[in-house]
Amino acid sequence: MKYGTEIYKECNHCGGSLTLRPLLEVNARCATLWSDGYVDSPMVPEQPLLVKCGHCKAEVWLPELKVSAFEYADNALEYLTLDEDGLWILLEEYRKQPSEHQLYIRLKLWQLANHKYRREKTIPVQWSSRERSNMKDLLLILDMNSVQERLLAAELLRQLGDFEGAEGPLQAPLEGNAFEVSKQLLQRIKHKQQQVFKCYQQASTNELKTSYCG
């Protein structure tokens, strides 16, 4: 894995300093990539974009915060992670129009809903009405010109049980790891399987860029 230099960012609500050590790359041998874009690694803590300030507890988007003018901050605190309930509350604020913020929140909620199905054993998939609604709304704001988001669209449709529709985003030419993932998706579409699964990458791939999971 590869980390960037530790930096401090200012909360846009209270001005407090937050410590951030950006993760740039994860060794693929130490991580598991799932079909919904979630990257799981016992050695690497998740680095979310939307968090709570450690000082005032307000929600902040880390990429949008200004870098502190100080190279070292005695009062710097770690950010706090948002729980699922907090994400649902924030979705109400961002759902009015498509945005990268809404996309990120919906993607995280979908991945959280999938956590109970991340296992080797096949189990029936049952979505709550709220989870299903979020998945359908996420489909509407994906960019189908993006290879990554086309794969996510196919996976959403597969998990929703629309197996015929799930083949559509996979019709355009794909290369490299995207092609490998699409083959695994098509195999599960063929067998009408809805459960999230581990993606097996090409053996030559050593690094996973952390931007894959949003």
Handedness of CA 76, 81, 86, 91 (dihedral sign): positive
Buried b (16+ CB within 10 A) or exposed e, 39-53: bebeebeebbebbbb
Look at residue 187 and give its three-state secondary structure.
Answer: helix
What was the pLDDT predicted at 204? 43
**Residue 27, pLDDT above cutoff 50:** yes
For 139-164, write each residue's pLDDT tens digit: 999 999 999 999 999 999 999 999 99
pTM of this prediction? 0.88
Query: Chain-centre distance of CA 171, in angstroms?
Result: 24
For 75-121, write each residue's pLDDT tens digit: 899 999 999 999 999 999 999 888 999 999 999 999 999 999 999 89
**Residue 132, pLDDT above cutoff 60:** yes
